[in-house]
Amino acid sequence: MSKIKFRAWVKDLNKIVDVTKIDFKEKEILFDGQDDNLYTLPDRRKFSEVEIMQYTGLKDMNGVEIFDGDKVSINHEYIALGLYQEDEYEGIIKFDGLRFVLSDYTLKHHGKRPVEIDGIDISWGEDGEDFEEDIDLIYFDIENADNCIVIGNIYEDPELLEGVKDEKLKNRC
């Protein structure tokens, strides 16, 4: 079973912290802060002052924990109809209420896809060439994490939201 943990973007500090406690009664999170002497002191913020990100329970291929709000790149290699194929997905991890999904992602295909087999047109892309396509949603699971690299998150790197269609995702920052 994966560990349940959270981190939060603290708006006034402009940084991500590890959440040590969530107090639903007081509607606040607690995290380890630091004073001027660099001693660790508990700190707290109201829910309205932070953006909470849940851990997916997965790590990327470099051992980096993957959280809601992270932008990832996934490389998928396979053989289709006897031809080597490589797809690269780049998108933002988000929790849709039931599961983690890769949202607002771009598919970049590398490799020749067959255009015709036995007289039947099965092409995708132009003349079997590389292509790029924007797609709204894909399920994100352990199979994807094995070939995944975290390339940033939407809070520390807001430029990663350029081109994102999901307004709820954009408004989180």
Model pLDDT for residues 110-125, shown as the tens digit of each residue = 555 545 555 555 554 4
Does residue 76 surpass a pLDDT of 80? no
Does residue 75 surpass a pLDDT of 70? yes
pLDDT of residue 110: 56
Does residue 128 surpass a pLDDT of 50? no
Mean pLDDT of the chain: 75
Distances (CA, A) of 110 to 89, 95, 106, 121, 155: 11, 29, 13, 19, 30
How far apart are the C-alpha atoms of 31 and 148, rounded to whole Å? 28
One-letter identity of residue 105: Y
Residue 159 pLDDT level (bands cut at 50, 70, 90): confident
Domain boundaries, the chain: 6-171
Considering the entire predicted model, what is its pTM? 0.72
Q: 52 versus 98: which is more confidently predicted?
A: 52
How far apart are the C-alpha atoms of 70 and 93, rounded to whole Å? 5
Q: 52 versus 137: which is more confidently predicted?
A: 52
pLDDT of residue 146: 75
pLDDT of residue 64: 93
CA 78 to chain CA mean position, Å: 22
Residue 132 pLDDT level (bands cut at 50, 70, 90): low
